[in-house]
Amino acid sequence: MADDSQERRTRLIDLLPAIYQEPGREGHPNYLPRFLPAFERILFGTVDSSEAAADSQAPADMDRAQGLRDRIVQMGKLLDPWLAHDKFLPWLAGWMALSLRANLRPERKRELIANMIPLYRIRGTRKYLEELLRMCVDVPTAVEEEDVPALQIGRHSTLGKDMYIGGGAPHFFRVKMVASQLSMPKLEEQRQLAYEVVELAKPAHTAYEFLIDSPRMQVGVHSTVGIDTVLGSAQAV
């Protein structure tokens, strides 16, 4: 009795007209039944290891082979940012005119690809920049738009707070990153990443100030040099 897996296997010889399935005559055998299995392995792969055992000419690793039919069925996964292999993410991002930063974690790359097309509809807005920062940076960030007025005695005249001679730059905004629990190396990594995102996403005619809200030096609390000690306020230019 034929093996069950052999019966389940798609055989190309069974799809041909009956004349090609005949055994042939003496001295002129029909070679198609022996010739077609090579193409069957390429097109359909292997059902399981029992099929490989039934075929004495099958390679030892045949049960791990995957046919072209299965690969074609699974091609849809290459277009899904949540299912595609990590090495396919840059290729998938290229379909959306998106360059992935090398220092982004794979899960953040996937989220960015999945949401990029809807975000293009609001490109150039505050919401667009905030969403990009949320998906790329590991710490909370905020974008604050501010119209900085010129010096006015009694109203905008406090030195270091709201006094700007001649007023601020037009189309000005601030990016504030809250990084109270990061070590200095991690803080620098996140600062650089956020800076790159802002430079790529902001409209060309805008100006901005980049601020990092991190704890100042406090003996016994934030006092380890090179780890969590910051003299004054940390600010990224």
* 3-state helix/strand/coil string of 78-129: HHCCCCCCHHHHHHHHHCCCCCCCCCCCHHHHHHHHHHHHHHHCCCCCHHHH
Mean pLDDT on 115-134: 94
Give the residues across from 208 on adjacent strands: 173
Helices (H) and strands (E) in the chain, counts: 9, 6
Q: What is the pLDDT of residues 36-56, one digit of tens each?
A: 888 888 888 865 444 444 454
Higher pLDDT, 48 or 174: 174
- Whether the per-residue pLDDT at 210 is higher than 70: the answer is yes
Q: Is the dihedral of CA 222, 225, 226, 232 positive or negative?
A: positive
* Mean predicted confidence (pLDDT) in 71-81: 83
Residue 30 is predicted with a pLDDT of 86
Mean pLDDT calculated for residue range 11-21? 86
In this prediction, residue 108 carries a pLDDT of 94
pLDDT for 185 equals 84
Torsion angle defined by CA atoms of residues 194, 200, 206 and 207, in that order, rounded to the nearest 10 degrees: 40
Which pLDDT score, from 0 to 100, does residue 72 have? 82
pLDDT at 127 over 80: yes
Judge contact between 127 and 137, C-beta under 8 A: no
Angle among Cα 134, 138, 144 to the nearest 5 degrees reads: 45
In the prediction, which pLDDT does 233 show? 45
**Best-predicted range by mean pLDDT (21-30, 59-68, 83-92):** 83-92
Quick one: pLDDT at residue 216? 56
In whole angstroms, what separates CA 202 from the centre of its chain? 21
Please give the average per-residue pLDDT across 13-35, as a whole number.
84
Answer whether residue 89 shows pLDDT above 90: yes
- pLDDT value at 228 more than 60: no
Beta strands in the chain (DSSP E): 24-25, 28-29, 141-145, 172-178, 207-213, 235-236
Kindly indicate the confidence band of residue 110, based on its pLDDT and cuts at 50, 70 and 90: very high
